[in-house]
Structure 1
């Protein structure tokens, strides 16, 4: 289905053309003054400059062409150059009835044939997820879901860090603690144990201790770097330990991501692309793209148009070591080779903007990616405490993501447990509501902006919050259950939504027609916050309608059935919108 704005725009564009004006001036938008009209066209003001006429003359000419258009209830010229439009209820009714009978609620599968890879994990093995991993995970998951809903082939990649110094540090600390393990015996020829010599709790204790020691003990750090080198060169015992680290870490990461309702299509790792690096480096040398500077191999990526300093992209350091950038270039190459994507999106902290600009320019200059592949960097802002500083625990440490989730769930559980429900159900409701509070509180903000993490506000059942949206859905479910108990199931294919009898009903219907537009724009603009704002406004319109009408006791059967079908559509749109945000809905609250 076309967006309703486009349907109305097409009519206005035809009128502009019949008056010998460019059709571009017939573009219609939703009115920013809903008290005056539903839609507005601002083209007369801009056309006046090109055609050297007054906006009013152009508007009157155009409106004359629209006099017999049945779908318009009211057309009015307003200075300095607007055409205010209110449409006939019939147009809205036809639109929302079509939405109600469409599995995608009118959203076109505009992404068919387009492949997108989204890099939105960034977790490292052997390290627990902390709150810094929250934003990329839930933003990326939402953009991926929206894209898939619109028909795009979207592959979400966790892109695990598993090849750096942290592996050498763990090996060093394990060797210090357990020198007799077979992994450290250079004469060992047998099969290495299938069971790891540590569990996730022990592994998560080993790495930070090793990291702290290395900061003050230069010999320890030197040993860790040596072990990293040996591991990367294929030391059998160290490779066996690394595989244990991977298995234990990935199992735990999947558990935590599942808790967030975040699911990756690809569990690729830095190690997966290491085999490409030697050939890429050699190719860039042969092409003359890479050259030696102060002992390091670099690629110059600056442009004549740059207004700020753009350092070269370093591929190999003077000591022979490759960097994260080298791995990221190889990853772009591997993604291009394996999936031939139309776009690769990186969702990363906004402080890494310069780094990704270097990487993208280097990939382009080196022909590591197809010319038609779009490389997109989405830099997200930080989650701050009420003091305006990055959110931390009371003792000043970075909070583990699992602990933050559990804290939110407990806050909700302390409220829910007072209801007359089982402990099991209370815990399940608390889990869904707590995660909704966390994810909606984050996603409702513009991606690039910093925001204040306010637990009290996010968990409130009032205002622009996740729990408020969930409560609205549960309220509709309750109304429908009452109706079904009294009247039986509604055969909604034989029922149509009929003309509104009040303004709150009309506004609710109009808000429903915007779903297609909101979902499409939220994907084009990488802006899940647009869906948050929409479902919040839709919830408000529903609650106004509900307070103005007695649905269950309505005596007019045709009107009552129309209302039931209407609120089913509202429920389905809200549930679908929440699902695009990665938020689950409880059966009751």
Structure 2
């Protein structure tokens, strides 16, 4: 469906054109003075400069032309030439009913869909997910879902860190603990054990110990680097052990991501890009894009008009081993060959912006992807504690993500029990959904690029701009509909009215749905969806408090209201789903 505001814009743009002005001046915006009008067109002021006429004269011409159009309740001119617009209720209700009958509630479908790869995991194997992984996972998931909702072909990739120095650290630490294992015997020619020589709990203890040891002992660090290089060169025992690390880690990662309702289409890692590296390096050398500098292979990506220094892109280290950037560049080649994407979107901490600037410049300069392929980096801010510093455990360490999820789940569990509306066997599942909503909405309602304060008391509140408040609105509507089941169960019921200003306001909020979804994707800004569903929830609450739906005796009004709030529920649930949030039936 076309956006409601676009329908008004189209009508007014036609009148600008009919009167000899460019149609672009007919753009309509939502009024910032709802006490005066619903919408406003300010084009007459801009047109006045081009056509050397008084803006009031132009506005008067347009308003006179619009009097023959049967969708406006009132049109007036304010100030130097603003056109104030109020639409007829019949026009509004017609659009609302179209939304009700549409599977996507008026959400548009892209006429020229793109193929988009979203790289939004970035977890390292052999390490537990921690709070630093939260933002990339849930922001990326929302962007992926919104793009799919609009009709794009979207591939979400976790892009695991499974090939770097941490692998060498883990391998050498396992060797120190269990030197008798066959993975370290160069003379072993049999099949390696099918079962891993460690559990996820042991693995999550092995890495931090190995990392701390390597950082304090230069010889151990060199040993880890050598093991990394041997793994990358295909040493048989190390590759077999690496596969165990990967399998054990990915099983745990999938469980943790599932707790956030985050899902990836691809579970590829840096290792999957390795086969592409030799040809890539040869191509960069043969075409004089890469050169040696202090033994390393680099590509100069600086530009004459740079306002800050952009260092060369490092392709290979002096010992010939690859880096994070090497696999990123090779992954672009892999994705181009596999999917021919129109756009690749990366989610990572904004402090990695220089890396992605170098990567994108190198990819474009070396022509390893088509000129029209977009590369987009969304750098997000940090989640901070109330002290304004990056969120830590009480002991000062980085908190595991599963521990954070459990903390916020516990914070809402007691409220669920106290509500006495949820059966005992549903308490845990309900607390899980509300806790996840509190955590995800608390994050996503902030602009992605900005840091924010993690406030568990505020995020888990059932009041205010929080996930639980939005869920409570949905649950309240479900409760009302269950009391009007004789109407809500009928098919084809229509919305009439509006019968009050509060109901009209609710309709005007509903028709913004399509607009907000499109803006959210265009700006890669899930907080726009949060903003919309919060405003819709508030507008519904005002309507609900002034309207006795269940007790209404006029069957026509009651039927219309049931149809209207059913649409509100559906729109809210669609919005929540685009954020990766599930709504419970009771709370």
Determine if contact 1:111/1:147 at 8 Å carries over to the other structure.
no
**Structure 1 residue 414: Cα displacement:** 1.7
Determine if contact 1:112/1:153 at 8 Å carries over to the other structure.
no
Aligned to 1:310: 310
Matches for 1:487-566 after TM superposition, within 5 Å: 487=486, 489-493=488-492, 495-566=493-564
Residues of 2 paired with 1:489 and 1:571: CA distance? 12
1:133 aligns with 2:133: yes
Matches for 1:423-438 after TM superposition, within 5 Å: 423-438=424-439
Residues of 1 paired with 2:279 and 2:560: CA distance? 66
Determine if contact 2:117/2:156 at 8 Å carries over to the other structure.
yes
Aligned to 2:34: 34
Residues of 2 paired with 1:325 and 1:185: CA distance? 32
Determine if contact 2:31/2:38 at 8 Å carries over to the other structure.
yes
**Structure 1 residue 371: Cα displacement:** 1.3
**Structure 1 residue 163: Cα displacement:** 0.5
Residues of 2 paired with 1:372 and 1:528: CA distance? 25
1:571 aligns with 2:569: yes
Residues of 1 paired with 2:77 and 2:391: CA distance? 51
What is the alpha-carbon root mean square deviation over aligned residues? 1.0
Name the TM-score, length of structure 1 as normaliser: 0.98
Matches for 1:271-420 after TM superposition, within 5 Å: 271-420=271-420
Determine if contact 1:492/1:565 at 8 Å carries over to the other structure.
no
Aligned to 2:188: 188
Aligned to 2:445: 444
Aligned to 2:202: 202
Quick check: 46-55 or 192-201, which moved more?
46-55
Q: What do the CA deviations read for 1:345-401 (whole angstroms, capped 9, x no partner)? A: 001111111110110010011111111110001111111111111111111111111
Runs of 5+ unmatched residues, structure 1: none
Residues of 2 paired with 1:182 and 1:53: CA distance? 88
Secondary structure in structure 1 of the residue aligned to 2:95: helix
Residues of 2 paired with 1:187 and 1:372: CA distance? 52
**Structure 1 residue 321: Cα displacement:** 2.1
Residues of 1 paired with 2:456 and 2:112: CA distance? 40
Across the two proteins, how many residue pairs are aligned to each other? 586
Residues of 2 paired with 1:422 and 1:213: CA distance? 50
**Structure 1 residue 489: Cα displacement:** 4.6
**Structure 1 residue 491: Cα displacement:** 1.9
Residues of 2 paired with 1:576 and 1:543: CA distance? 18
1:456 aligns with 2:457: yes
Name the TM-score, length of structure 2 as normaliser: 0.98
Residues of 1 paired with 2:80 and 2:436: CA distance? 48
Secondary structure in structure 1 of the residue aligned to 2:484: helix
Residues of 1 paired with 2:532 and 2:545: CA distance? 20
Residues of 1 paired with 2:231 and 2:250: CA distance? 19
**Structure 1 residue 323: Cα displacement:** 1.5
Residues of 1 paired with 2:208 and 2:525: CA distance? 36
**Structure 1 residue 297: Cα displacement:** 1.3
Determine if contact 1:554/1:560 at 8 Å carries over to the other structure.
yes
Aligned to 1:467: 468
1:102 aligns with 2:102: yes
Secondary structure in structure 2 of the residue aligned to 1:92: helix
**Structure 1 residue 31: Cα displacement:** 1.1
Residues of 2 paired with 1:70 and 1:447: CA distance? 42
Residues of 2 paired with 1:264 and 1:87: CA distance? 44
Secondary structure in structure 1 of the residue aligned to 2:418: coil
Residues of 2 paired with 1:381 and 1:460: CA distance? 23
Aligned to 1:12: 12
Determine if contact 2:487/2:559 at 8 Å carries over to the other structure.
no
1:229 aligns with 2:215: no
Quick check: 46-55 or 84-93, which moved more?
46-55
Residues of 2 paired with 1:529 and 1:288: CA distance? 44
Residues of 2 paired with 1:586 and 1:251: CA distance? 27
Residues of 1 paired with 2:529 and 2:489: CA distance? 29
**Structure 1 residue 3: Cα displacement:** 0.5
Residues of 2 paired with 1:186 and 1:222: CA distance? 20
Determine if contact 2:487/2:562 at 8 Å carries over to the other structure.
no
Matches for 1:43-192 after TM superposition, within 5 Å: 43-110=43-110, 113-192=113-192
Q: What do the CA deviations read for 1:539-576 (whole angstroms, capped 9, x no partner)? A: 11111111111111111101110000000000000011
1:2 aligns with 2:2: yes
Residues of 2 paired with 1:417 and 1:121: CA distance? 34
Secondary structure in structure 2 of the residue aligned to 1:448: coil
Residues of 1 paired with 2:226 and 2:290: CA distance? 27
Residues of 2 paired with 1:256 and 1:112: CA distance? 35
**Structure 1 residue 319: Cα displacement:** 2.4
Q: What do the CA deviations read for 1:88-131 (whole angstroms, capped 9, x no partner)? A: 00111010100100101112211654110000000000000000
**Structure 1 residue 294: Cα displacement:** 2.3
Determine if contact 2:146/2:578 at 8 Å carries over to the other structure.
yes
Residues of 2 paired with 1:316 and 1:489: CA distance? 65
Residues of 1 paired with 2:101 and 2:208: CA distance? 55
**Structure 1 residue 174: Cα displacement:** 0.8
Residues of 2 paired with 1:391 and 1:64: CA distance? 60
**Structure 1 residue 488: Cα displacement:** 5.6
Aligned to 2:579: 581
Quick check: 103-112 or 380-389, which moved more?
103-112
Secondary structure in structure 2 of the residue aligned to 1:375: strand
Secondary structure in structure 1 of the residue aligned to 2:98: helix
Q: What do the CA deviations read for 1:187-222 (whole angstroms, capped 9, x no partner)? A: 111110000000000000001000000111111111
**Structure 1 residue 295: Cα displacement:** 2.0
Determine if contact 1:518/1:534 at 8 Å carries over to the other structure.
yes
Residues of 2 paired with 1:305 and 1:184: CA distance? 52
Secondary structure in structure 2 of the residue aligned to 1:378: strand
